[in-house]
Amino acid sequence: MSETAGAGRYAPSPSGDLHIGNLRTALLAWLFARHSGRRFLMRIEDLDDRARDGAAESQLRDLRSIGLDWDEEPMLQSDRRAAHDAAIDTLTAAGRTFECFCSRKEIQAAPTAPHAPPGAYPGTCRDLDDAQRAERRAEGRPPAIRLRSDTSRFTITDDLCGRYTGVVDDFVLRRGDGTAAYNLAVVVDDGAQGIDQVVRADDLLSSTPRQAYLATLLGLPVPDHAHVPLVLNTAGQRLAKRDGAVTLADLALVGVDTARVLSMMARSLRLASANETVTTAVLLDRFDPTRLPDGPWIVDPDDLW
């Protein structure tokens, strides 16, 4: 854990260009951190199989172009493998892990316990003996490592969403290919960076109880959380590249510059009036978390240009 002041962060996966929904969440994370006197840090979560060469650089360039800055060089999650493995070793030594040989298809087809929450891991490999594990290894199945949870639910308090209780099952800590799973990596890396404030889209709220519970097992503080509403298309679905010109590069091709994009995002957050040109410094001066809209921003990409 860092000995310096607490920090907020933005942690994109470098799978492609950021769209205005991603940029709006990044802007909010920056505003929350700077407004509270925290440092603001970047982390590139490049453990995802979808990571693309050059995407991280493009994302950082777009974030700078809308006026965001950060206080340290971005952390690369792929450089953190030793720390991820050490955390799993600590949990294993405490009897908190087990090997799982199930495929995703097998998990989906398996019957769940009578009172298990929907979607919870059914416990198929939780109590395998040594002979059964050896048999599965002989079949060529590389095991994932799962947490041996002693609770089925955990409650967190979110600054925007209030108290939220979510499922905590025996979730994956390390995939069968040896790569740390998201829920493990994000907890370990937040701890290493001194992150005590996490601002992200509200579609990730359901995963937060798992991460908070894991942090307590690893002796790490649970950050404050603020899950902000998504940006949706007119069909009520998450905004995506398929919706048209929604990245800065695509919008520039149709005559929408970065300053206009920032102003549109500011208006959606009640931080600017119609046709007003703003900067991030102006937005920070106006920022009040209690006045943020509590519903999604519905965007018709045709209206952006």
Binding-site residues for L-glutamate, please? 9-13, 45, 182, 200
Q: Cα–Cα distance between 193 and 210 in angstroms, integer? A: 19
How many CA atoms are closer than 13 Å to the CA of 149, on its beta-carbon side?
24
Q: State the CB neighbour count (10 A cutoff) for residue 82.
A: 8
| Torsion of Cα atoms, 259 then 260 then 261 then 266, to 10° | 90
CA distance 181 to 187: 10
* Closest to 286 (Cα-Cα) out of 29, 35, 13: 35
Residue 149 and residue 156: Cα distance in Å, rounded?
Answer: 17
Q: Say which residues have a Cβ less than 8 Å from residue 71's Cβ, sequence separation at least 6.
A: 7, 39, 40, 41
Binding residues for ATP: 241
CA–CA dist 301, 251 (Å, integer): 9
Residues making up the annotated binding site are 9-13, 45, 100, 102, 121, 125, 182, 200, 241
CA atoms within 13 A on the CB side of 224: 13
Annotated binding residues for Zn(2+): 100, 102, 121, 125
Distance in angstroms (rounded) separating the CA atoms of residues 201 and 208? 11
